């Protein structure tokens, strides 16, 4: 990892009647719209979708680093992050995020160690750590 702090820049722009374009240097642009819950079309990425995608992908990337450092062999990891959006004290916010992780490890692998490392990945995910919502992980370990 490069020395901290790191700087990340994203640009969003829109016209009155259009969805917005989200750009990050050297990456393909994304078309962003409100989700169905906010009367959006439901066929574009929304900020809410992007946040849950960030939690899920950060959990996997954190796990990969931790597993490598712990010399834990694994085959695949799927994370599905689900956020509960609610109104608290007149502010709409995510109040809880649950990540369901399904990890496949080699036959004969250490299931307890795998669960421990998944929890550690959830605890060290910088995206989850940057949010006020309660974050939790549900782990399933399969042998493959």
The CATH number given to whatever domain includes residue 92 is 3.30.300.20
| Phi-psi region at 13: left, alpha or beta (left = phi > 0; alpha = psi -120 to 50) | beta
In a domain, 7, yes or no: no
Whether residue 111 lies inside any domain: the answer is: yes
The answer as to whether 30 is a domain residue is no
Q: What is the pLDDT of residue 18?
A: 94
Q: What's the whole-number mean pLDDT along residues 68-80?
A: 98
The domain of 66 spans: 54-143
pLDDT, tens digit, 9 for 90 and up, residues 76-112: 999 999 999 999 999 999 999 999 999 999 999 999 9
Tokens of 1: 């990892």
Q: Note the pLDDT of residue 110.
A: 98
Using DSSP bridges, classify how beta strands 11-13 and 20-23 pair: parallel, antiparallel or unpaired: antiparallel
Between CA 6 and CA 101 the distance in angstroms is: 28
How many residues does the structure list for the chain? 144
In a domain, 34, yes or no: no
Tell whether 36 is covered by a domain. Answer: no
Partners of residue 102 on adjacent β-strands = 78, 140
Inside any domain, residue 1: no
Residue 6 forms part of a structural domain: no
Counted domains in the chain: 1
77 in a structural domain: yes
For residue 26, the 8-state DSSP code is: T
């Amino acid at each position: 990892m490069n020395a901290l702090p790191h700087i990340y820049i994203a640009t969003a722009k829109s016209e009155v009647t259009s969805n917005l374009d989200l750009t990050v240097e050297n990456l393909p642009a994304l078309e962003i719209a409100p989700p169905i819950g906010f009367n959006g079309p439901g066929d574009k990425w929304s900020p809410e979708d992007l946040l849950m995608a960030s939690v899920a992908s950060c959990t996997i990337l954190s796990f990969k680093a931790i597993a490598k450092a712990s010399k834990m062999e694994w085959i695949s990891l799927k994370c599905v992050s689900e956020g509960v959006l609610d109104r608290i004290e007149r502010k709409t916010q995510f109040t809880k995020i649950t990540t369901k992780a399904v990890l496949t490890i080699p036959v004969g692998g250490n299931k307890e160690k795998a669960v421990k490392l998944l929890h550690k990945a959830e605890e060290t995910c910088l995206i989850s750590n940057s949010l006020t919502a309660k974050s939790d992980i549900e782990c399933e370990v399969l042998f493959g």
